[in-house]
Amino acid sequence: MNSALIAIILVPVIEIYLFIKIGSQIGALTTITLIFVTAILGIIYARYEGLNTLKSAFVQLIKNEIPVYEIISGAAITFAALLLIIPGFATDIIGFLLIFPFTRNLIIKYMSPKFQTKKNTDENFIEGEYEDIEKEDDKKL
């Protein structure tokens, strides 16, 4: 079975279970208020972190460097904001983990070891020569 299909089915089930358990402990009105507060605070903080990431990307571009980390971080912040908008406690926890820079860095390093800097050695390069063929030379062939 496709993992996306499993997630589409499993996430709402987990959220409904948490709504029932937490709602029975703290009350329905408090649960609804908590959902709105986490969504609003998460969106405000996502905007703040997104602007910081954008500033950092512009600094990298001014240095003539490709802002790879900033692009990945911006995508993670966008995904976190989406998770915070979706009502639920499990999605809020994952969203807040992605928004805070410390945990976002850990998650990005864990999920993508290929973005870590690698030391280039001479074994990775092949030397060679090339010659441009002009249109007149093509007719001679």
Q: Is residue 136 part of a domain?
A: no
Q: pLDDT by residue for the chain (141 residues), tens digit each?
A: 688 888 888 999 999 999 999 999 999 999 999 999 998 998 898 899 889 999 999 999 999 888 888 888 889 999 999 998 888 999 999 999 988 889 988 888 887 776 555 555 556 667 777 777 776 655 555
Which residues span the domain enclosing 38? 3-114
Domain assignment present for residue 86? The answer is yes
- In which element (H, E) is residue 52 found? helix 28-62
Torsional sign, CA 67, 73, 77, 79 = positive
List strand residue ranges (DSSP E) for 12-121, in order: none
Per-residue model confidence (pLDDT) at position 108: 82
**Does residue 120 lie in a domain region?**
no
Looking at residue 125, what is its pLDDT?
65
Query: 140 lies in a domain?
Result: no
Q: Is residue 126 one of the residues assigned to a domain?
A: no
Cβ neighbours of 63 (radius 10 Å): 9
Please tell me whether the overall predicted TM-score, pTM, comes out greater than 0.85 for this model: no
Q: How far apart are CA 116 and CA 118, in angstroms?
A: 6
State the total domains in the chain: 1
The predicted structure's pLDDT at residue 127? 75
28 occurs within a structural domain = yes
Instruction: Give the model's pLDDT for residue 91.
Output: 92
In a domain, 100, yes or no: yes
pLDDT of residue 33: 93
Whether residue 7 lies inside any domain: the answer is yes
